[in-house]
Chain A
Amino acid sequence: MALLKDNAAVTEAAVDALIARFGEPDWLAEERRAALRTYAATPHPTSRDEVWRYTQLERFAIDGLELVDGPRDTSVVDRVSMRILDSDAEAALVIKNGEVVQRAGHVGESGLIFTDLRTAVREHEALVREHLYSVVNATMSKAAALDAALWTNGTFLYVPRDVEVALPLGTFTTADRGGLSAGRTLIIVDVNAKVTFVDEYTSEPIGERLAHHAATEIVLKDGAKLRYVSLQNWSREVVQQNKIRARLARDARLESLTVSLGGDAARAEVEVDLEGPGSESEMLGLYFADEGQHYNQYTLQHHASDHALSDLLFKGALRDASTAVYSGVIVVDPGAQKTDAYQTNRNLLLDDESEAVSIPQLEIKANDVRCSHGSTTGPVPEDQRFYLMSRGLRPEVAEHVLVTGFLHEVMSRVTLPKLAQYVERVVQAKLGVPGVKEKL
């Protein structure tokens, strides 16, 4: 078993350099230093760890990579510009290797704050200080500790009480150089406020390996509503680890969608703490791995309160000796009565060389709950393939129709039309449908 190794560039001096470069306040400097100590004290994950079983850990190795300290060039490449134009986002932030390189569009709602995290530390210090590390912190995992110590920038979004933001907002995270990098998203939706936010990760081929770490902290106060999308379509040199976690207060509702299409390997941890009665979390996941990609997802539906609902559906297709691992757990605390918790993972194998592992788990400590979990992994149904071909569809077109059909259960619940079209286009391009190429 390949053991992960330390990275010689991850040092106290590196953290101090970040603090000095960004001119950070003492409380944040101390958080970073503490996170680094936690990082150093935390062992690397091994495949014996339950949450990392079947993961191809060596693909997430970071040793030998230099810390990324900004992009080679601050221009916004066509690929990213086109994505902004063709996204549902009304206002967008472009962050390239940790630097803000573009702010597009504007938001009209009063009191709304949508900026980069470094700026927010300066201009909205009290809000940031109250919430940063309150959902994802260094003690949660080695990768979370690394991110907590070394994040260079990211998104800060605050929606004030009772404000409903009409149009979606988004951040496009991109890169033009390899190395080791870390970014962070902090979203706070105040009482009875409502917003849609898309975190999209994309790049043109970089030519060198990039290991990107991301942490997404979501705080939903009483009655807050958030539609959150995390979509990674990195170029193939990139490996990403992303921990997305949300805390939901009374009657809050989160609709999340996690999409993996790009990169060499990607791990997404999607976790919710249902802390208030009446809170609801819909968790959708979609992935399509080809050409040996490795996707890994871990989910947590933590029912801390009674009368909460979580409904999870992760579906993925695999081809060309690709691999996927889904591991998910529903935890129902004692006293979380009248819980509704559902968890489904389905994998479609398009060839014999691809593999998917699915590990659904339940830990239920209350007695008046409705919970279900299930998983299936299998090849394309031959009767469906035969039916489509009997109408004259060439095998690759028939396969595309079947993959579309398989993913439909998730796609039909995606309420952002342009995003849905983009995902469909990337899937078609991956399938090599004649006449379809992924638009820049």
Chain B
Amino acid sequence: MSEHSLEIRDLHARVADGEAILNGVNLVVPRGEVHALMGPNGSGKSTLAKVMAGDPQYEITGGDVLIDGESILALEPDERARAGLYLAFQYPVEVPGVSIANFLRLALNARREEGDEIGVMEFYARLQRAVKALDWDESIIERNLHEGFSGGEKKRSEILQLLVLEPSYAILDETDSGLDVDALKVVAKGVNAARGPEFGALVITHYQRLLNYIVPDKVHVMAAGRIVKEGSKELAMELDTRGYDWVRVEAGLNPVGDDEHAPRVGA
């Protein structure tokens, strides 16, 4: 495959000593592209995101994940991050007592050699650019990491960190869930600011509405722990109208007939 890509090869994973959740996922995001990963609840989207970032509560039972041709599965979560991978969490944790600014400085310096720490001016310039791109107030960087943040603020913080850390590849795990349209637009603005030839992203979402603002180069549909369909951005529109059952049937799975008919929100 392409030398500059995030590649998932026949990936199988389960909850440690538990049920299998990923059953052979194949997916490639070339650098410079933004792909969407859609699918009904329980299809394995979030598990895929966490497995790629190295969440210890999952066990890989087969397959591989590669960054620019190099397998990352033997790496610890911090090593994967330093290799260029970024996960925007669906549920970011709170860490009291550590300001966003200090946390990001630690994260940036972790990517540099000892003695080559980022300069104060350069750091704040970078932070200010990111804050501005998200229409945020600068005082946010002095607040403790997610302490007392609303759900929307936490999601915005995940994108702020993405803009400051400048990863090669980002996975956005349902960053749109729980956001109103205004917040959604801000988050999309941030992601679009990161777009460029040196950045690839996999945007995981349940709904099509986010994709009105972050237009994907390709759409992958996941069901029962594997990719069952791929297509262009029009596929997202079709899923929004028709739900997911028809994709499941096409893939030889039983229709679930649940709430997967997404409400039409957004532009």
Chain A positions within 8 Å of B, measured between CB atoms, are: 381-384, 386-395, 397-398, 401-402, 404-409, 411-412, 434-435
The answer on a CB contact under 8 Å between A389 and B96 is no
Name the CB-closest residue of A to B95: A405
Chain A nearest CB: distance from B44 CB in Å? 19
Q: Chain A residues near B96 (CB, 8 Å)?
A: 405, 408-409
Query: Scoring B residues 147 to 160 as 1 if CB is less than 8 Å from chain A, else 0, what string do you get?
Result: 00000000000000
A260 to B171, CA, bound (A): 43
The answer on a CB contact under 8 Å between B97 and A405 is yes
Q: Chain A residues near B53 (CB, 8 Å)?
A: 386, 390
Q: Chain B residues near A435 (CB, 8 Å)?
A: 114
A389 to B161, CA, bound (A): 13
User: Which of B57, B95, B165 has a CB less than 8 Å from the CB of A392?
Assistant: B165
The answer on a CB contact under 8 Å between B114 and A389 is no
A406 to B55, CA, bound (A): 22
CB-CB nearest 7 A-B residue pairs = A408-B97, A392-B81, A389-B77, A389-B78, A392-B110, A391-B107, A405-B97
For this complex, 7 residue pairs linking A to B, each with C-beta atoms less than 8 Å apart, are: A386-B54, A386-B55, A389-B54, A391-B81, A391-B110, A392-B78, A401-B103
The answer on a CB contact under 8 Å between A434 and B82 is no
User: Which of B80, B86, B92, B111 has a CB less than 8 Å from the CB of A387?
Assistant: B92
Chain B nearest CB: distance from A270 CB in Å? 23
Within B134-167, the residues touching A (CB, 8 Å) are: 144-145, 161, 165
The answer on a CB contact under 8 Å between B93 and A384 is yes
The answer on a CB contact under 8 Å between B82 and A392 is yes
The answer on a CB contact under 8 Å between B95 and A401 is yes
Chain B nearest CB: distance from A196 CB in Å? 23
Given A397-B106, A434-B114; A390-B77 close (CB under 8 Å): yes
Chain B nearest CB: distance from A281 CB in Å? 24
Q: Chain A residues near B123 (CB, 8 Å)?
A: none
A402 to B145, CA, bound (A): 11
Q: Chain B residues near A383 (CB, 8 Å)?
A: 93
Q: Chain A residues near B78 (CB, 8 Å)?
A: 389-395, 398
B246 within 8 A of A: no
The answer on a CB contact under 8 Å between A389 and B111 is no
The answer on a CB contact under 8 Å between B87 and A390 is yes
Q: Chain A residues near B55 (CB, 8 Å)?
A: 386
Given A386-B55, A392-B107; A411-B95 close (CB under 8 Å): no
The answer on a CB contact under 8 Å between B97 and A393 is no
Q: Chain A residues near B93 (CB, 8 Å)?
A: 381, 383-384, 387
Q: Chain B residues near A404 (CB, 8 Å)?
A: 97-98
- Apart from A391-B110, A394-B110, list 17 A-B contacts with CB within 8 A: A386-B55, A386-B56, A386-B77, A389-B78, A390-B53, A390-B78, A390-B81, A390-B87, A392-B81, A392-B110, A393-B110, A397-B106, A404-B97, A405-B98, A408-B96, A434-B114, A435-B114
A393 to B76, CA, bound (A): 11
Number of A-B contacts (CB under 8 A): 79
The answer on a CB contact under 8 Å between A391 and B57 is no
A119 to B11, CA, bound (A): 78
B89 within 8 A of A: yes
The answer on a CB contact under 8 Å between B114 and A391 is no
A384 to B145, CA, bound (A): 11
A362 to B243, CA, bound (A): 58
Chain B positions within 8 Å of A, measured between CB atoms, are: 53-57, 76-78, 80-82, 86-87, 89, 92-93, 95-98, 103, 106-107, 110-111, 114, 144-145, 161, 165
Q: Chain A residues near B95 (CB, 8 Å)?
A: 384, 387-388, 401-402, 405
Q: Chain A residues near B111 (CB, 8 Å)?
A: 392
A435 to B106, CA, bound (A): 12
The answer on a CB contact under 8 Å between A401 and B98 is yes
Chain A nearest CB: distance from B161 CB in Å? 7
The answer on a CB contact under 8 Å between B110 and A411 is no
User: Which of A384, A386, A397, A409 has a CB less than 8 Å from the CB of B110?
Assistant: A397
Chain A nearest CB: distance from B159 CB in Å? 13
Q: Chain B residues near A398 (CB, 8 Å)?
A: 78
Name the CB-closest residue of A to B102: A401
Chain B nearest CB: distance from A229 CB in Å? 19
The answer on a CB contact under 8 Å between A393 and B98 is no
Q: Chain A residues near B97 (CB, 8 Å)?
A: 404-409, 411-412
Name the CB-closest residue of B to A411: B97
Chain B nearest CB: distance from A37 CB in Å? 50
The answer on a CB contact under 8 Å between B165 and A391 is yes
A221 to B233, CA, bound (A): 76
Name the CB-closest residue of B to A407: B97
Chain B nearest CB: distance from A216 CB in Å? 29
Q: Chain B residues near A408 (CB, 8 Å)?
A: 96-98, 144
Name the CB-closest residue of A to B57: A382
A404 to B161, CA, bound (A): 20
A266 to B57, CA, bound (A): 38
Q: Chain B residues near A411 (CB, 8 Å)?
A: 97
A344 to B77, CA, bound (A): 34
A408 to B95, CA, bound (A): 10
Q: Chain A residues near B86 (CB, 8 Å)?
A: 390
Q: Chain A residues near B76 (CB, 8 Å)?
A: 389, 395
A154 to B228, CA, bound (A): 78
Q: Chain B residues near A390 (CB, 8 Å)?
A: 53-54, 77-78, 80-81, 86-87, 89
Q: Chain B residues near A405 (CB, 8 Å)?
A: 95-98, 145
Q: Chain B residues near A406 (CB, 8 Å)?
A: 97
Chain A nearest CB: distance from B176 CB in Å? 20
Name the CB-closest residue of B to A400: B106
A411 to B165, CA, bound (A): 29
A89 to B86, CA, bound (A): 46
Counting chain B CB atoms within 10 Å of each CB, the highest count among A392, A402, A407, A435 belongs to A392
A394 to B82, CA, bound (A): 10
Name the CB-closest residue of A to B53: A390
A129 to B96, CA, bound (A): 47
A398 to B95, CA, bound (A): 11
A406 to B103, CA, bound (A): 15
Q: Chain A residues near B77 (CB, 8 Å)?
A: 386, 389-390
Chain A nearest CB: distance from B168 CB in Å? 13
A397 to B81, CA, bound (A): 14
The answer on a CB contact under 8 Å between A393 and B92 is no
Chain B nearest CB: distance from A382 CB in Å? 6
A386 to B91, CA, bound (A): 12
The answer on a CB contact under 8 Å between B92 and A389 is no
Chain A nearest CB: distance from B99 CB in Å? 11
Chain B nearest CB: distance from A155 CB in Å? 32
